[in-house]
Amino acid sequence: MDKVIHFSGGSPSINGSQHRASAFAGEGSRLSDLLHLLSSTEAPGLAALVDEPILSRRLHEGDTLFHEGARADAIYFVRSGSFKTFCTAEDGYEQVLGFVGRAEVLGFDALCTNRHPNSAVAMEDSSVFGVPVRDLSALGRRVPAFDHALVLAVSRELAHRGDLANVMAAVAAEVRLARFLVQWSTRMAARGQSPRRFVLRMSRREMASHLGVAHETVSRGFRVLANAALVKVCNREVEILDMDGLKAFSCSTRRPIDEDAAASAGHSQHAALWSGAPATRHAEAA
């Protein structure tokens, strides 16, 4: 059964709107709606072919689209809103894998095992299209535009998870945060929204899980970046003041293989960033 059960992650839910049954195949959406969502370039002449009903579903903030371990009945495309995907450890710790937004795909990694390796929860009121796995190949064959869009969406998702590794690989916590902000900025730009000013809908704790640090460290990281005048932070609103500086700062890696490369000062305007803090990190080249 695909009933949405609220996870008691240690907090008894105060959200009464949980058990409001959201029917799967509601509101008579059409396949053309999905194609329109996925392809920025409108493919004309297909209206007749693709004007068939399609599954869609609405979720409220906090609703679970699918649970970790659940059978993979369908894959989903985010129509509006946003989701977080995460794994839950035995002790209840949530490892956030990613944040999924409009026109992106959800649940594709379940196809290889027929079980979802992670859960997906709406971070705000959202809606999705669903494509049953058994219809997937047939649909792709019948509608090349869908097939192409699917490949693109999955490829993008794969790339996102590659980026995640790059984020979590950074040594310093502030660098992880900086990389995350740069990536988010890029995604916002790709979505046609402002890359300099945006709202991070996830909580500090979710962000921290995604970055692989403690949530207190995220707060401290924001403070460091703000003190360096790279960003301005007000609650969950973020404004990037110095994009180049932020990018330069986010390039800091582990001990460089080539020591000389570090010596060439190049553009190390972020040296001031470290020195500003109470403790000077690894005495900087004078």
Partner DNA sequence: CGATCGTTTGACGGTGCTCAATCACCGTGG
Partner DNA sequence: CCACGGTGATTGAGCACCGTCAAACGATCG
Q: Which residues bind DNA (CB under 7 A)?
A: 11-12, 14, 171-174, 203-205, 212-220, 222-223, 233, 235-236, 254-255, 259, 274, 279, 281-282
Min separation Cβ 63 and DNA, Å: 15
And the tokens for 119? Answer: 């859960």
Say whether residue 49 binds a second copy (CB under 8 A): no
173 binds, among a second copy, DNA, none (CB under 5 to 8 A by kind): DNA
* 216 is a contact residue toward a second copy (CB under 8 A): no
How many Cα atoms are found within 13 Å in the side-chain-facing hemisphere of 221? 26
Of 172 and 243, the one with the shorter C-beta distance to DNA is 172
- Please tell me whether residue 108 binds a second copy under the rule CB under 8 A: yes
Output the smallest distance, CB 243 to DNA, in A: 21
Question: Which of the residues 132 through 151 are near a second copy (CB under 8 A)?
Answer: 136-137, 140-141, 144, 147-148, 151
The minimum distance between CB 170 and DNA, in angstroms, equals 8
With CB under 8 A as the contact rule, which of the stretches 30-38, 123-131, 238-246, 247-255 interacts with a second copy? 247-255
Number of C-beta neighbours around residue 42 at 10 A: 9
* Angle, alpha carbons 139-101-25 (nearest 5°): 45
| Contact call for residue 200 and a second copy (CB under 8 A) | no
* Interface residue with a second copy, options 11, 12, 90, 265 (CB under 8 A): 90
CB contact set of 207 (below 8 Å; sequence gap of 6+): 96, 180, 200, 215, 218
Which neighbouring-strand residues pair with 120? Answer: 66, 85
Spatial contact of 94 and 164, defined as CB atoms under 8 Å apart: no
Which residue blocks in the chain are alpha helix, DSSP H? 31-38, 133-142, 144-169, 173-190, 204-211, 215-227, 243-250, 259-263, 271-276
DSSP line for 23-61: -SB-TTEEHHHHHHHH-SS--TT-TTTT-SEEEEEEE-T
Residue keyed to tokens 């301005």: 232
CB of 270 vs a second copy, minimal distance in Å: 13
Examine residue 282 and tell whether it contacts a second copy (CB under 8 A): no
Residues that bind a second copy (CB under 8 A): 87, 89-95, 97, 108-113, 117-118, 136-137, 140-141, 144, 147-148, 151-159, 161-166, 168-169, 209, 212, 214, 251, 253-258, 261-262
